[in-house]
Amino acid sequence: MLWWRTYEFDRMQPEGYDMSERIIDKNESTAARPVRSRVLQTSNRASRLIGGWADIVGLVLATVAVAASAFHFWPFAQSKAWQMLCPSNLAVLAGSGILVPFFLLRRTRRKVTQLLPHASVFAYLSVAALSIAFAASAARAVAFTAKLVLMLIGAYTLLNAAIANTRRLRTIYAVTAAAAFTSVAGSVLARFVFGSDGFGFFDNAYKYGTYVGILTPLCSGYLFASGRLWASSLAALLLIGAAVSSGSLGALAAITAGMTAFAVFSSWSARLCVVGCLVCGVGLVVLFHSNPAFDSLKQDVRLAENDRVNLKQRYIEWQAEINLLLKLSLSGTGAGCINDERSSFYERLPKLNTLAAFDQNGWLATAAETGFLGLVCFCWVVSHYGFSAWRQIRQAGADASNPAGRFALANFAGLVAACVANLFSSVHYNGILVVFVLLLVFISRTGRLFGDIRCASESC
């Protein structure tokens, strides 16, 4: 009988680079226990990033970055300075500031290097940097690229360093779930209790939809997969709350796609729970569709504009971005500069002005801003982590008793949701990107639990 089981990271041994995590069967003989405890001690010492204060500060900053993302730009949503220096971004900036000296020191450089993201992320960033040469506004392109670097490298490294063992992985999952609950509760209260047009801490339906669209399948999947009644109840509450409070098609599509992906690979009981919650959520929306709070959702789901003559502006924007690709196929408009050029590419399409300025499709926006090669590199990022998540699902399916299967299921659901959410919005948006990066870190960390060598050797 397995009476206890734990995971440990061996990833930071002084000499080798074996990131595979050992699963130690605690049912081993008493004679073997001293050996095991020695292994655990070595591993715990080795698994720390730098050790001491830097380790603790890193964990605190990572927790703040994830938890603060729930509040988005609240309470100064209109302030540009606050948008850049919100607590989430500041925590990542401070964390990166701590990591940089350790990277520069030869003694600790190796440890920091091992925490960096996969080469595909660097490839994407280099294409984004090169696209600055073609941007009409250098300042905008440089600022956008700097934000990408900060999040995709700084936040990734910080979060990766913070999740040094399974206990911390669970802690960050719990913080993420708390952040999702906070944003959903804020939106439900604002819209259904106080009758506000906003979405709690988010002022925009698309931003809120992308945020909860990614986090709801991730956190609900994690909670459902635990198999405990209280966790399943929380997951059901989160799922129904997110479905009811979402005001965009993208959010509903992302939640449905993510939870369907989760249900396909999970147990029958979890499948029933997911289907029940989705039916409940959609049922509530249909039942109370006359409530003014659902107006934005009803408008967003429709294919036509209010005039019933024109196609919804979202799809016109999609076509404008494809038209743009014809002329600026390689260079794009420059990173972050799509809004400067989009209006020149409507051609025979009507120019409507019914949408808030917001990227309506992350995939096409990436292609339009950084060119085909930028889109290819971004797809490489998604496919690398996607294949990793898929391998984890397969491994978890082969070994049902493996507790890490819970993480694998949640991550896969989250990634599917992120891909769908990126169709109707953009994961590159300031304040949302940190959630996407968190998802990549979760996938990478879970891969190490499964001893996925391709995940382990991600930074070259």
Partner 1 sequence: MSSPTITCRQSRRKVEHALRVLSLCLAAAAIILASGLCLYSKSPTRIERPVLLVLAALFVMPAFKSELLMLLQKLTAFYLVCATVSELSGAYLEFPFSSINIKLSYSVMILVPCATGELIARLSPRDVSQAGERGGLLSGWVLAFAFIAAHMLVLWAFLEMFYGYGCQHNLSVLGGLCRYLLLFVFLNERLSELRFRQCVGLLLVLCFAVMQMKA
Query: Which parts of this chain interact with partner 1 (CB under 8 A)?
Result: 119-120, 122-123, 126-127, 130, 132-136, 138, 303-304, 309-311, 315, 318-319, 322-323, 325-331, 334, 347-348, 361, 363-364, 367, 372-373, 375-380, 382-384, 387, 454, 459-460
Nearer to partner 1, 202 or 436 (CB): 436
Distance CA 248, CA 208 (A): 9
Contacts of 117 (CB under 8 A, 6+ apart): 152, 153, 156, 157, 440, 444, 458, 459
21: which DSSP letter? P
Nearer to partner 1, 183 or 331 (CB): 331
Task: Compute the least distance from the CB of residue 133 to partner 1, in Å.
Answer: 4
Task: Compute the least distance from the CB of residue 430 to partner 1, in Å.
Answer: 23
Residue 412 and residue 250 in contact, taking contact as beta carbons nearer than 8 Å? no
Q: What is the distance of C-alpha 354 from the center of its chain?
A: 28
Q: What six digits make up the tokens of 354?
A: 């019914």
Nearer to partner 1, 107 or 308 (CB): 308
Q: Measured between alpha carbons, how far is residue 239 from residues 181, 260, 281, 388 in Å?
A: 10, 12, 8, 26
Nearer to partner 1, 281 or 332 (CB): 332
Give the angle 375-377-381 at the CA atoms, nearest 5°: 110
Nearer to partner 1, 95 or 332 (CB): 332
Please report the DSSP string for 41-98 in residue order: HHHHHHHSSS-THHHHHHHHHHHHHHHHGGGTTTT-TT-HHHHHS-HHHHHHHHHHHH
Nearer to partner 1, 40 or 376 (CB): 376
Nearer to partner 1, 37 or 457 (CB): 457
Task: Compute the least distance from the CB of residue 190 to partner 1, in Å.
Answer: 33
Nearer to partner 1, 83 or 339 (CB): 339
Please name the amino acid found at residue 197. D
Distance CA 372, CA 377 (A): 9
Nearer to partner 1, 200 or 250 (CB): 250
Distance CA 418, CA 265 (A): 18
Task: Compute the least distance from the CB of residue 388 to partner 1, in Å.
Answer: 11
Task: Compute the least distance from the CB of residue 361 to partner 1, in Å.
Answer: 8
Distance CA 104, CA 122 (A): 18
Distance CA 351, CA 353 (A): 7
Task: Compute the least distance from the CB of residue 322 to partner 1, in Å.
Answer: 6
Task: Compute the least distance from the CB of residue 308 to partner 1, in Å.
Answer: 10
Task: Compute the least distance from the CB of residue 445 to partner 1, in Å.
Answer: 20
Task: Compute the least distance from the CB of residue 372 to partner 1, in Å.
Answer: 5
Q: Of all helices (H) and strands (E), which one includes residue 239?
A: helix 229-245
Please name the amino acid found at residue 267. S
